[in-house]
Amino acid sequence: MPKKKTTAATMPGESTRILLSRSRVQTRIATLAREINRDFRDEPVHLVGVLKGAIFFLADLARHMSGEVSLDFISVSSYGKETQSSGQVRLTKDLDTSIEGRNVLLVEDILDTGLTVSYLLRVLEQRRPKRLRVAVLLDKTERRKVPVSADYVGFRIPNEFVVGYGLDYAERYRNLADVCVLSLHGKAKKEGAV
């Protein structure tokens, strides 16, 4: 079967192929939104998106959810990504509002080593939300370094280098509607790229 092509504007030495088509992604997100609404019994849900990768997933998930939904964003920087050693994560942008007593859903594009979600769960739990759950679009379980899992998982994917739908390579490809596998020909991948 021929490989599906994307309309991605690739750089020389780079090529992409679709792993999860936009329609599969949207169908799955609609299902996740229904599960989330059911589990939260239509109580207000405060979505916390992790910049920048989660913005497309968060936007589509929010639009598929019924009931009261509010949004906030948080940003972290991972030393582990640059050095492949310490695995330390630090907050670079905090939430705008308190989450105490609220139903919070942490929204991530991908669960990889687990360092980011594990760190954020510790930080957010200290703020005493009513409930704290995690939704990820993609889960690369075989890359996990710390034991953490998501309550809602869009797709479990193999350990391939994925871009699109929020995920980048050198800040490019985030705007692809499909989740794609990026191949680099004769180039070394940037450390920590997922």
Catalytic residue list contains 94: no
Q: Name the residue with tokens 């497309």.
A: 56
Q: Which stretch binds ligand PRP (CB under 6 A): 29-37, 47-55, 97-105, 121-129?
A: 47-55
Q: According to the binding rule CB under 6 A, does residue 17 interact with ligand PRP?
A: no
150 vs 87: CA distance, rounded Å: 19
Pick the binder of ligand PRP from 14, 60, 139, 168 (CB under 6 A).
168
For residue 103, give Cα distances in angstroms to 74, 98, 181: 16, 11, 34
Q: According to the binding rule CB under 6 A, does residue 135 interact with ligand PRP?
A: no
92 vs 70: CA distance, rounded Å: 21
Q: According to the binding rule CB under 6 A, does residue 139 interact with ligand PRP?
A: no
- Spot the catalytic one: 112, 139, 168, 178: 112
Q: According to the binding rule CB under 6 A, does residue 53 interact with ligand PRP?
A: yes
In a 13 Å sphere around the CA of 86, the CA atoms on its Cβ side amount to 8
| Contacts to ligand PRP by CB under 6 A | 50-53, 78, 81, 108-116, 168, 194
